Amino acid sequence: MRTTYFTSISALAFMFLSFTVAANNVDPVSNTTVLLEEEGVTFVVEASLNSAFKSINYSDNSFNLQTEDVIQFVQLINNKGEVEFQMPIGSSSVHLSLENFEAGDYSFNLLLSGSEEFTTTTLSIK
């Protein structure tokens, strides 16, 4: 009887510990999607924004994307918080030459028509 009681308590403690460890092992990037991963660039967005993008490609050191909505404004901000590039667009497509940008991670912010807030994505240049 005593061995059964000890075994039951041990099993419950192990299950509780396993649950606690699993609950604290959450992947913080799980709500993002890599939409483009090429040799020189990676483009990551929140999973909820996948449908906003029609096409994304990278070739000859140029990053190109097309969205469902008109892009009013684009910003590219480096990991120090400095604005590297910004421009009004007024089109559903953007063509950006990456020749003059250093390797690193950038916030690629898009202001889409009908929105008052920027859509923030991540552009990593290798």
Structure tokens at 93: 């497509």
State pTM to two decimals: 0.68
Of 2-16, 17-31, 64-78, the range with the highest mean pLDDT is 64-78
For residue 104, what pLDDT is reported? 93
Q: Which amino acid is present at 78? A: N
More confident residue, 31 or 65: 65
- What would the pLDDT profile of 20-29 be if each residue is shown by its tens digit? 333 333 334 4
- What would the pLDDT profile of 31-48 be if each residue is shown by its tens digit? 777 777 778 788 887 877
Collapsing DSSP states into helix, strand and coil, what is residue 20?
A: helix
Where exactly are the structural domains of the chain? 32-125
Mean pLDDT of all residues in 52-58: 90
Residue 111 has pLDDT above 60, yes or no: yes
Mean pLDDT of all residues in 89-116: 93
What whole-number distance in Å separates Cα of residue 53 and Cα of residue 41? Answer: 17
What whole-number distance in Å separates Cα of residue 23 and Cα of residue 25? Answer: 6
What whole-number distance in Å separates Cα of residue 97 and Cα of residue 61? Answer: 6
Q: Domain 32-125: give its CATH architecture.
A: Sandwich (2.60)
Containing H/E element for 14?
Answer: helix 2-23
